Every structure is written in C-alpha cells, then in structure tokens.
Amino acid sequence: MLDGFIRVAAASPKVKVGDVEYNVAETAGLARKAAERDCAVIVFPELGLTGYTCGDLFLQKALIEKAEEGLYELADQTADLNTVLIVGLPYSLGGKLYNVAAVIHQGDIIGFVPKQNIPNYSEFYELRHFTPYDLDGIIMTEDDICFGKAVFSCGGLKFGVEICEDLWVASSPSVDYVKNGAEVIFNLSCSDEIIGKAKYRRDLVKMQSAKLMAAYVYCDAGLGESTQDLVFAGHNIIAENGKVLSESKRFANDNHEEQILYADIDLERLDADRRRSNTFANDINGESGVDIIEFDAEFPDIVLERHISKTPFVPENSTDLATRCEDILNMQAAGLYTRLKAINCKKAVIGLSGGLDSTLALIVTIHAFDKLGLDRKGIIGITMPGFGTTSRTKNNSINIAEEYGCTLREISISAAVTQHFKDIGHDMDVHDITYENSQARERTQILMDIANQEGGLVVGTGDLSELALGWATYNGDHMSMYGVNCSIPKTLVRYLVSYESTRTAESNPSLSAALADIVATPVSPELLPPTEDGKISQKTEETVGPYELHDFFLYYMIRFGFAPSKIYRMALSAFEGSYDAETIYKWEETFVRRFFSQQFKRSCVPDGPKVGTVSLSPRGDWRMPSDASRNVWLEDLETVKD
C-alpha cells in the first residue's frame, strides 16, 4: 500500500428478485473486474444476493437457505481474488432473521454485520421480516463465524460496515466504528428514488464522512429491483472527509463499466486529519460495544487514478473560485478594518511595487476602508523606484492608485541607497545580497516613517509562499504593522487580483486593464537593474523555482504532514506534462532546504488574518524551532531515487 492509497469500489449489479444463482454470478463477475483494477475492497447493495424487494418471500425458508448457499458459492468463486467483498443477504440466526452484510476474502467468510436500525415507515416495512440487532460486540454462528458489531482490520486498513438506515439515524453505528479506529465505512443500501432525495443522500454521505474524518463508500441498488411500487437508481457515492471523490450516474444501463464506481482513498490523509484534531476520539476497544476482527490481506500498490490538483489552494471550479475569492477578500478586509477600528486609525500606508502582492494588499485595504466608511484618500500608496524598477511596474502602481482614488506619493530610493553604500563601503557595481537588501530595507524605513508622520498603519504585502521560502528581506519587506496577505499563497494571490480585474471590468475598464497587466507581469522584487531594453531582469521563479510547485509542496507538507517522498510522487501525477521528474525533485529539495533554514523569519512576523487551513504564524498554526535539522526530510526525499 504505497503512500497510504487504496482503491475501493461500490458496485450495483443487475439483479433478478429471488434468483440467488443469477445474483451470485453477477456479483462474482463485478468482483473479478474490480480485482483486475487492483481494488482492495468492493461493496455491493443491501440484500443483493436475493434482491431487496422480495417482500414476504423473505419469510420463505427456501429463499433464506438458498441465500446462505449462494454466499458460500460466491466465496468459492472469488477465492482466488485478493479483493475483499462486502455483500448483503438475509441470514437466520437463533430463530431470528437478520438483514446482514457478509465480509468475504479469498474464499473465507470473515464475519457478518447485522443491520441495527430497521425502518418501518412510509414505503418501508422491514420490521415485517427482519429483527434489529442490538447486542454489543460479536457472537459466533454455528459455523464459527463472527456475527455482530465489529471493525475489520487487514492489510493496514481498518473499516466498518453499516446498512442503509444505519446512516440515516441520529446515532449511526459508524460513530462507534471510527472510535475504534475505522478509517473507511462501507454502506450497503437500497434507497429508492423520489424527487429531491439524491441531493439529500449525497449531502448526507458527504457530511457523515466529514463528521467521522473518514472515507464513506455508499452502494445503492439499481437495475433489476422490483418497480412494482418503487424505483431504484443505483446512486453510488464515495466521499472522503467531506469531499465527494466519485459519484455514479443514476439510472445507468447495465454496462459493466457503469455498474462499478471506483475511488482511490488516501488513508494517510485521513490519519493526518485525525492526529491534528485532539477532539477526535480514537477509543480503541472502548465502551462502544465494538470488537476488532483481524484477518490477513495484502493490498497492492496502485497506479494512482485519483485526480490531484496542481493548485490545492485554488478551487478548480470557476463558480467555486469566484465565491472563494470574494470570501477571502472579505476575510482579509475584516481583519484589517477590525485592527484599524481597534486602534482608532484612519490612515494606511502601502508600498506599491506594481506587483501582485502589493496590489492585493491595496485591494484589501480599499475594501476595509469602504466597510469603515473612511475616505480612500486616507490610503497612502507609495511607489519607491530604485535601481531595478521598470516603467511597466511603476506605471501600473500609479494607475491602480489613481483609479482607486488613493493618495499617491513617489519617493525614489536611489539617492538614499547610494549614500548608504558609501556609508558602509559597498561597491555599487557589486550586485550581491547587500545590494538587494539595502533597497528593501530603505523602502521599509520610508513606509514606517511616513506612517509615523501621518498617524497611519503600514499594511504588509508579503504572502504565505514567501514566508515558507523565506523570500523576504529580514527587517525589510518582511516587516509591517499588519500583514493582510500572510496566509495567502502566491498561486491564490494571482487569482484574487485576476478576480478583482474581472469584477471591475464594467465599472472601471482602466483599473481592470491595469490589474490584468499586473497579473501578466513576471514575479520579481526588481532589485537588480533591468535589461538594456528596460524589461525585468530578475525573475523570482527562475531563482527559487515555480511558485505552483512550491505551493503544492507547502500545502501537503503543512496541511497533512506528508513525507517528501509521497509529495514528490503526488507531484509527478499532478504535474504530468508540465514538469519532468528531475525538475520536480530539484525544486522540492530547494523547498525543504529553504523552509527549514528560513524559520527565523517566520518566528517574528507581524499580525495578520488566517483565511485558510494552512498558516505559518508562530502564534497560530505553526510552531517550529529555528535551528531544527532538515536531514530527516532530505533523506526521505532521496529515497525516491532508489
């Protein structure tokens, strides 16, 4: 099981009501197809060996016995498969009939899980035939098979099983299963279709997976169930901690490919979320009346089919992206206007470079001032051209300040920095780190001093990606009085500015055009002289690497604590066709080295609002010693070369 990924499936075979032999054959056929896809576990619908809509036929001894025979026949037919099967059937025990799920692996029936909550309302009359199971733990059948509430443990996976209505009740059995370590819940269901139910069902599965911090695999009955009074659509859903990974098309035909729904579950991701949340109970063998059933299984390493986004900080759906951008801008603005109101400050000072970060900071400040009803003239935008400033970035900074109606000041830093070089004895022709950082610190000094003059607050412009890489001048652009972009990664900064450009296209075309050009401008601190034709010579991503790669590394390292080797393999999948393996390795190694060496800058960053799940604030989500060793992470990354 490489990197904690396993493939699971939900299959809705075509059934014939009451025809066990036919249903066993269909089930075995789909199980074999799933095994060919390296599927670890496949779940089938409720009472699938007989059909759910048998009605009073469930009271017939012939059908009950045939169902049990069919179960053993199915086990024999799939004995050569390494895939775990979970199938539904009626099962008689102790003079009572139960609606059960049977867990099968390599010819063995591992255990039975009976349905605990039996619906008897509206179209459901299950109490007419089945007994709800209410005992704790497990008992043994006459064939010495475990029967009852259990978590199954095999091959590094722990899973629980519940049946249809067990999900829909207030106290689901799955709650007890996850308390006993279950990472995946499989649900065998036969949920009929009525108007509006599909959305409700989808939301229920999605939110149950979120509540449990688990994966939830929901398998519904479809073709072949009796339509005498009800219609069934085969609505299968696989969710992982609040996100639907895969969902079947309802009312699909009997094409085998459409009858099986697959998804690759990330168990390490689930475990990471549970470790982070100290309110998540992991009460192994506690007082929940659940036993652990262990059996041997070895799941294969899979060729990942799971979609991995290149931009985990940015929604891929355009509608979601617009909503996300609006929410983020409102959150950033709320943080700033709350701070301004708290200190009774009516002026803000921002250094405008014509780049993405300072532009976003200005946009946020505009929103904050508008919310407070303050005059935009109280926003003092300062452009500070230096040795590397190009006309493109300078003009853009001037344009957006004027279009927003801010106060604009231009203060050249060239003379001051030249004098500073004389003072410290630095050769102007040596374009080293001193040459660059002296300019950044001079700009920060100007901003701070003007803020003192005006009684204003210096709004920081640095973003999350720069904090992660330490791509900021210590006590230069690293410092401000409030950092509005501190938890916004560079990939998202670009989308936020682009969103503002789109939003203002009709009301202010000139502003929109300037914002669009800023989005198209290469990321640069502009601390080195421009090229002979006046273009930017210093491009950040050529020095430290592509921000889309660094943001990818950052997200999975901080959000889930994944090992560098796993992040590397995920990046290979996400960026296939964009970057080769050598490039990804190079920049991930750079990321790890810089992330550890630059912690001292993160240990003393200004206040700023957290807006996403990843934050590097030393007062919030990330506490790390500045002298921690990076060797463990680099050694792990090196293993991908083996």
Spatial CA neighbour of 103 closest among 61, 141, 150: 150
The DSSP-derived string for 155-188 is TTEEEEEEETHHHHSSS-HHHHHHHTT--EEEEE
Using CA atoms, how far apart are residues 194 and 232, in angstroms rounded to an integer? 9
Of 54, 66, 68, 115, catalytic: 115
Spatial CA neighbour of 351 closest among 447, 492, 473, 224: 447
Find the helix or strand (DSSP H, E) in which 305 lies. Answer: none
Is position 126 annotated as part of the catalytic site? no
Is position 46 annotated as part of the catalytic site? yes
Cα 408 to chain centroid, rounded: 41
Cβ(379)–Cβ(365) below 8 Å? yes
Phi, psi for residue 407 in degrees, rounded to 5: -80, 130
Using CA atoms, how far apart are residues 486 and 230, in angstroms rounded to an integer? 55
User: DSSP state, 358?
Assistant: H
Using CA atoms, how far apart are residues 107 and 100, in angstroms rounded to an integer? 18
Cβ(151)–Cβ(168) below 8 Å? no
Find the helix or strand (DSSP H, E) in which 204 lies. Answer: helix 197-212
Sign of CA dihedral 443, 447, 453, 454: positive
Full strand arrangement of the beta sheet holding 348-351: 407-410, 379-383, 348-351, 457-460, 482-483
Spatial CA neighbour of 382 closest among 409, 405, 356: 409
Of 164, 219, 345, 486, catalytic: 164
Of 46, 183, 193, 588, catalytic: 46
3-state SS of the chain: helix, strand, coil percent to 5?
45, 15, 40
Q: Going by C-beta distance under 8 Å and a sequence separation of 6 or more, which residues neighbour residue 629?
A: 596
Cβ(109)–Cβ(71) below 8 Å? yes
Q: Find residue 192's DSSP bridge partners.
A: 232
Q: Find residue 265's DSSP bridge partners.
A: 6
The SS3 assignment for 544 reads: coil
Phi, psi for residue 381 in degrees, rounded to 5: -90, 125
Is position 115 annotated as part of the catalytic site? yes
Using CA atoms, how far apart are residues 107 and 600, in angstroms rounded to an integer? 58
Using CA atoms, how far apart are residues 577 and 253, in angstroms rounded to an integer? 35
Using CA atoms, how far apart are residues 134 and 138, in angstroms rounded to an integer? 11
| Half-sphere CA count of 137, side-chain side, radius 13 A | 6
* Both structure tokens of 441: 């610190």
Residue showing tokens 């005006």: 454
Cα 46 to chain centroid, rounded: 31
Q: Residues with catalytic annotation?
A: 46, 115, 164
